[in-house]
Amino acid sequence: MEIWIATQLPKFLTLNKITWEKSEETKLIEQLSFYIYNMVYNICAIVATNSKVYDPALKEIKPRHLQQSLTYIQKKCYPLSITMEQKGGSSYHFDAEYLGKETGVYTADAGKNILALDFENKIARPEISGGAAAGVITFSEISYTIINTSERKDLFPNDDLKVILADFQVKIGRHSLQILKKILKMHFNCLMIDIHAQQPLTLVKLHKLVALKRHGVFL
């Protein structure tokens, strides 16, 4: 997965108008890919541990095992969304999913376009179409189309995530997998927001950003 991530980063950074030190490009992409893979592995380890602690006999990750990770990233990086939710406004549209109701938000391979980030408001761009009621901010899927014949259009492919979770002797269903991927993208976007603010990106800046407490999961 780390190699796969590395192939996608240049196009993602370029799309979102993030500049970087060209003389350090190879090392930057390599290091950033390493950090992102660490984040994926660490989040998988956390949710797998939660499932074993609360449902040791189940050996399967359910939405309730993901709630702690979701709450953490919301508080650390997206407090505005929590405030809006408490006031009865927009939310991340997760609550109904926790109750087991399919809302259509977590669909596999949602969209084929690469979505830019809304850095000013520190949210992913609102969903382009479908999946939520008008006015609801959803954390839209960021798709990565490589070539038309490629079956891997996601930065965090389903099969790779399942392999990592299998190392912890747990499995995950489609429903919970899509919620997990939302959490991964929330962490990823949070780091990208900070990188955007500190551009042009250099190795020194990258190491300092990842050292921030809210990005500890990347280490």
Residue 170's pLDDT band (boundaries 50, 70, 90)? very high
Q: Which two tokens stand for residue 195?
A: 């990188």
pLDDT for position 153:
57
**How much is the pLDDT for 71?**
86
Q: State what percent of residues in the chain have pLDDT above 90.
A: 40
Average pLDDT over residues 149-177: 84
Q: How does pLDDT run across 85-110, given as a tens digit for each residue?
A: 444 443 334 433 333 333 333 333 33
Kindly report the average pLDDT of the chain as a whole number.
Answer: 73
Cβ atoms < 10 Å from Cβ of 88: 7
* For range 172-183, the mean pLDDT: 91
Q: Kindly state the percentage of the chain with pLDDT values over 70.
A: 66
Long-range contacts at 2-6 (CB < 8 A, ≥ 24 apart): 2/33, 2/34, 2/36, 2/37, 3/33, 4/152, 4/155, 4/157, 4/160, 5/33, 5/36, 5/37, 5/155, 6/30, 6/33
**Residue of 49 and 131 predicted with greater confidence:** 49
Mean pLDDT to the nearest integer, 161-181: 94
* Residue 212 domain boundaries: 2-218
Residue 97's Cβ-count burial label (10 Å; 0-12, 13-18, 19+) is buried
Q: How far apart are the first and last CA of the chain?
A: 16
Write out pLDDT tens, residues 106-119.
333 333 333 444 54
Strands 117-118 and 171-172: unpaired
Residue 15 has pLDDT above 50, yes or no: yes
**Which residues on neighbouring strands pair with residue 201, listed in sequence order?**
20
pLDDT at 124 over 60: no
Three-class SS of residue 168?
Answer: coil
Residue 186 or 168, more confident = 168
Stronger pLDDT, 191 or 202, i.e. the higher one: 202
What is the tens place of the pLDDT at every residue in 178-200? 899 889 988 988 888 888 888 89
More confident residue, 87 or 81: 81
The whole-model pTM stands at 0.74
Q: With beta carbons less than 8 A apart as the criterion, state whether 64 and 97 touch.
A: no
Domains identified in the chain, total number: 1
